[in-house]
Amino acid sequence: MKLPICLFDAKNSLLCPQCEKKVEDGKLTKADVNASIILARLAKTNQEIDDFTLYSCKEFEGNFVLSLSKNDILTIRRSRVLYRLLQEQFQGKIWLVEAEENDKKFIEDMFFPTKVLSINSVWAPGGIQKTKAVISGKWTPRFPINMETVIQIVKNARNLDIEIEFENKRA
């Protein structure tokens, strides 16, 4: 397992002077530390989590964006049990994104498992550049993803203003 803090720190729920300094310097956040401790605890009884590489955890108003390796994300998506195990440990919704991915992939991960048909730059009135994502199907009140939350996370994590449109505009 690889984590943003030392493995020893995560396993013992404490921070060594080096990691403490990274938090003070803003290189690591409290969310990085807490997510590391959570994963280390789960790894004691879960071999799959023990193989994870966590790059970061960003918290936005009770949403936790976990940046993991591509393989880890595939592993979680294959197992509802594993997904629930992880989700239960966080005090808000978890969002899984691949580390070092581009903006397009990041947006696709936000909507998973719903398909994103296209992502393009568009010019909004006032000469503001926006990123328009077209989502497969049509919106219904049961759509599981909160659009406002996605817009905020993408803005915070990638500094992009996105506009979301559904393939079938008329419900």
- Residues at the interface with Zn ion (CB under 5 A): 6, 9, 16, 19
Shortest Å, Cβ 7 to Zn ion: 9
Shortest Å, Cβ 40 to Zn ion: 12
Task: Tell me which residue has tokens 């500094």.
Answer: 159
Q: Which is nearer to Zn ion, 13 or 71 (CB)?
A: 13
Q: Which is nearer to Zn ion, 8 or 50 (CB)?
A: 8
Angle (CA) 84 144 49, round 5°: 25
Query: Hey, how many other C-beta atoms are within 10 angstroms of the C-beta on 40?
Result: 23
CA pair distance 109, 101, nearest whole angstrom: 10
Query: What does DSSP say about strands 93-98 and 63-68: parallel, antiparallel, or unpaired?
Result: parallel
Shortest Å, Cβ 55 to Zn ion: 16
Six-digit token string for 90 = 């966080």
CA pair distance 3, 35, nearest whole angstrom: 9
Shortest Å, Cβ 23 to Zn ion: 10
CA pair distance 38, 64, nearest whole angstrom: 13
Shortest Å, Cβ 16 to Zn ion: 3
CA pair distance 42, 91, nearest whole angstrom: 16
Q: Which is nearer to Zn ion, 10 or 160 (CB)?
A: 10
